[in-house]
A and B are shown apart, each in its own frame.
Chain A
Amino acid sequence: MTSTLATPRTTDRPAGPDPHRIGRRRRRGVGSTVWSVVKHLILIGCSLLMIYPLLWMLVSSFRPTNTIFRTPGLWLHNPTLANYTHGWHALTSPFGQYLINSGIVVLGAILGNVASCSLAAYAFARLRFRGRTLWFAIMLLSIMLPIHVVVVPQYIIFNNLDWVNTFIPLILPKFLATDAFFVFLMVQFIRGIPKDLDEAARIDGCGHWGIFTRVVLPLMVPAIATTVIFTFIWTWGDFFTALIYLTSPDKYTTPVALRSFLDSTSGSDWGAMFAMSIVSLLPVFLVFLFGQRYLIKGISTTGIK
């Protein structure tokens, strides 16, 4: 851009370095290099500070509990898997049971969110029906509604249906598009898909269902990926709802199990606790590692947490 600003003055000269730019770069040269090095040092320092607790927990999970309290460093002598084997069997069910429970809930939540939110999003983004603006506004407002205002009656409903201590209260709402975040995310995405494609499909004889399943749905895979990843991370970590609805230990999801672990050992068996914490964070970390692109895109286009 600097070069385009300078172009009128340099048109007569043959192609080559622009004197204005060279001058400016040289003038700034030393200072900006020093500044850039300092900045990187500060940023690396911050990064280390940020992830040190995580690294330390990871390393400590391979240490005997009695040394965790004496070793703030990351150096690992004689790593042991004892914490993992001990932690895995420390609760009434093996820890794998809780991972499976979490897995079932997450899978249900993902299916529910993708199916219901994409349907609603298609209606909001493409169809013209009476009351659309009003419903859309209500949908946006419901994103900001605190769950506590609805949690007591929801509990009463599920309790009357005898669904407490099952996974239904955790999964069913997702099939009813209650995570309106994702409706909004998908609306944003569908708006970016050219309408000509819809028209072409309509001319070829597609109805709305055809347009939705054959044109829009295949094209909105990135938005679906973002939804899947966020649903995974949020549902995997969801504590409040699981705490309320899951009452018997064999139904616990991972976060509730971890919490009961903390209670049962009154917070003394840090080695095993760290080990199981690492186990519970691992899936989220993997999703983060491989789905980061979608996460960042999702978060920057809709500003969800």
Chain B
Amino acid sequence: MSAISELTSLRRTRAKTAAERQQQRKENGRDNKAGYLFLLPWLVGLVVITIGPMCASLYLSFTDYNLLQPPKWAGLANFREMLHDTRLHQSLKVTFIYVFVGVPLQLALALVIALALDKGMKGLSFYRSIFYLPSMLGGSVAIAVLWRQIFGTDGLINQALRLVGINAHTGWVSDPSYALGTIIILHIWTFGSPMVIFLAGLRQIPTMYYEAAAVDGARRWARFSKITMPLLSPIVFFNLVLQIIGAFQSFTQAFVVSGGTGGPSDSTLFYTLYLYNRGFANLQMGYASAMAWVLLVIIGAFTAINFFASKYWVFYDD
């Protein structure tokens, strides 16, 4: 079903006897020439656009490089600087808050709505479209522009608050204590795509399980916790992994809402925004590469933790 379950199943099917392996090896060479010809564009891309640059950026992370002069070896200087860079620490804090508040809330909402949209209920496809639409548009600059207005001093939110008698004059996006919150709300607003994945997962749960449970007298909660949740857990896991990976990299919304600065007072200084500023605004490509590798390590670590923890709560049917 998903890229992640595909990876785990690749790992599982590896165990085989020696004879089988040899047989498979012989078979595997059948279309060598055609295989690599078909794969050629992808392989070139992998080397030139992905793996080559990855190695280059690892090298650059140990150098001082401003695009104009050749890179100067700097050893661990970039990483040492990161230890003392308070803006970097702020950007980590902002990003972690965003990931650990935004992702769970978004997924929870996606799950609740997906559960509410029962199979065969009236208007299912209508609701699904409405809920899905924001996630199609949410990453765009236009929506970030809209958000800046909605949460501005005289924005839609404050107008609505004034209508109900609260005289609100907080500029939500210009107040350091709320600015990040508005971007988290924007993230939650785009719950439609995990919701659609949940809906697809729910549809795959065989109805007979519920019927059997009903015969046994299981109540709504029991059916949910004993059937729905275990069978849906691989999908929850999948969504969680992907959303965390994605959330660590969010950029556009913070960039537009804060006007590219990460302000006010660095309260929306996302990690990638800071990386962009160091690399492409200040032309400190070495430092930006070092930051990129730290990001990769962080994302890798969280994905690994997720996979490790999944043994304890994700239920695989097969």
User: With a CB–CB cut-off of 8 A, which chain A residues contact B52?
Assistant: 153
Interface check B120, CB cutoff 8 A: no
| A131 → B minimal CB distance (Å) | 8
B242 touches A176 (CB 8 A): no
**Interface presence of A110 (CB below 8 A):** no
Partner of B130, one of A50, A208, A295: A50
Task: Tell me the nearest residue of chain A to B207, going by C-beta.
Answer: A1
Q: For the complex, give the distance between the alpha carbons of A148 and B116 in Å.
A: 38
Q: How many residues of B contact A (CB 8 A)?
A: 105
Binds B, one of A11-19, A76-84, A115-123, A218-226: A115-123
Is there contact, CB below 8 Å, between B211 and A284?
no
Task: Name B's A-contacting residues (CB within 8 A).
Answer: 1-3, 6-7, 10, 25, 27-32, 34-36, 38-46, 48-50, 52-54, 56-57, 60, 67, 113, 116-117, 122-123, 127-137, 139-143, 145-146, 148-150, 154-156, 159-160, 163, 189, 193, 196-197, 199-200, 207-208, 211, 215, 238-239, 242, 245-246, 248-249, 251-252, 255-256, 259-260, 272, 275-276, 279-280, 285, 288-289, 291-293, 295-296, 299, 303
Residues of A within 8 A of B155 (CB): 69
Q: Which residues of A contact B123 (CB under 8 A)?
A: 40, 43
Q: Are A149 and B246 in contact (CB under 8 A)?
A: no
Contacting pair A208 B38 (CB below 8 A): yes
Query: Of the candidates B136, B141, B291, which one forms a contact with A258 in the assembled complex, judged by CB atoms under 8 Å apart?
Result: B141
Residues of B within 8 A of A42 (CB): 116
Q: Which 3 A/B pairs are nearest by Cβ-Cβ distance?
A: A176-B45, A129-B35, A300-B200
B142: contacting residue among A70, A154, A280, A300, CB under 8 A: A280
Complex contact B249–A148 (CB within 8 A): yes
User: Which of B67, B130, B149, B245 has the largest number of chain A CB atoms within 10 A?
Assistant: B149
Q: Which of A135-191 contact B (CB under 8 A)?
A: 135-157, 159, 173, 175-178, 180, 183-184
The residue in chain B whose Cβ has the minimal distance to the Cβ of A209 is B34
A104 proximal to B (CB < 8 A): no
In chain B, what residue has the closest Cβ to A236? B140
Which single member of A115, A144, A258 contacts B303 (CB below 8 Å)? A144
Inside 8 A of A273's CB, which chain B residues have their CB?
145, 149
Task: Report which of B45, B129, B160, B211 forms a contact with A173, defined as CB distance below 8 A.
Answer: B45
A146-B249 contact given A57-B146, A119-B38, A284-B140, CB 8 Å threshold:
yes
| Cβ B156 vs Cβ A146 within 8 A | no
| Measured CA separation A117–B40 after assembly (Å) | 11
Given contacts A5-B211, A128-B27, contact A302 B2 (CB under 8 A): yes
Residues of B within 8 A of A156 (CB): 56, 67, 285
Question: Which residues in B have their C-beta under 8 angstroms from that of A248?
Answer: none
* A-chain residues with CB within 8 Å of residue B143 when the two chains form the complex: 277, 281
CB closest chain-B residue, reference A48: B130
Q: Are B136 and A288 in contact (CB under 8 A)?
A: yes
Q: Which residue of B lies closest to A46 (CB)?
A: B113
Chain A residues with Cβ below 8 Å from B29 are: 128-130
Q: List 24 A-B contacts (CB under 8 A).
A: A1-B207, A1-B208, A5-B211, A5-B215, A46-B113, A56-B156, A71-B159, A142-B46, A145-B50, A145-B54, A146-B296, A148-B249, A152-B279, A152-B288, A154-B49, A157-B48, A178-B49, A267-B148, A277-B141, A281-B140, A284-B137, A299-B196, A300-B200, A303-B239
Q: Among the listed A128, A140, A254, which residue makes an inter-chain contact with B35, where contact means beta carbons less than 8 Å apart?
A: A128
Known A-B contacts A72-B159, A152-B292; A303 and B2 likewise in contact (beta carbons under 8 Å): yes
Contacts of B149 in A (CB 8 A): 68, 270, 273-274
Contacts of B276 in A (CB 8 A): 240, 243-244
Q: Are A258 and B34 touching (Cβ within 8 A)?
A: no
Please report the C-alpha to C-alpha distance between residue A277 and residue B145 in the assembled complex, in whole angstroms. 8
Residues of chain B with a CB closer than 8 A to A204's CB: none
Residues of A within 8 A of B56 (CB): 152-153, 156
- A residues near B246, Cβ cutoff 8 Å: 305
Question: Are the CB atoms of B39 and A135 closer together than 8 Å?
Answer: yes
Other-chain contact of B34, A144, A208, A239 (Cβ < 8 Å): A208
Interface centre among A39, A43, A270 (most CB of B within 10 A): A43
A274 to chain B, nearest CB (A): 7
Complexed CA–CA distance, A115 and B200 (Å): 28
Q: Are B163 and A72 in contact (CB under 8 A)?
A: yes
Q: Is A33 an interface residue (CB 8 A)?
A: no
- Bound together, the chains give a CA A157 to CA B50 distance in angstroms of 12
Task: Check B60–A153 contact: CB distance below 8 A.
Answer: yes
* Contact partners of B141 in chain A: CB under 8 A: 237, 239, 254-256, 258-259, 277, 280
A167 to chain B, nearest CB (A): 16
Contact B53 A116 (CB under 8 A): no
Task: Compute how far the CA of A47 lies from the CA of B140 in the bound complex, rounded to whole angstroms.
Answer: 20
List residues of chain A with CB within 8 A of the CB of B38. Answer: 119-120, 122-123, 127, 208, 212
B193 touches A299 (CB 8 A): yes
Contacts of B49 in A (CB 8 A): 150, 154, 173, 176, 178
- Note all chain A residues with C-beta closer than 8 A to B239: 303
Q: How far is the CB of A305 from chain B (nearest CB, A)?
A: 5
User: Is A133 close to B, CB under 8 A?
Assistant: yes
Note all chain A residues with C-beta closer than 8 A to B215: 5
- Smallest distance from the beta carbon of A261 to chain B beta carbons, Å? 8
A127, A143, A146: which contacts B248 (Cβ < 8 A)? Answer: A146
A85 contacts the other chain (CB 8 A): no
A25, B139: Cα distance in complex, Å: 45
| A258 contacts B145, C-beta separation under 8 Å | yes
Give the docked Cα–Cα distance between A256 and B303 (Å): 32
| Known A5-B215, A149-B57; contact A258-B296, beta-carbon cutoff 8 A | no
A218 to chain B, nearest CB (A): 17
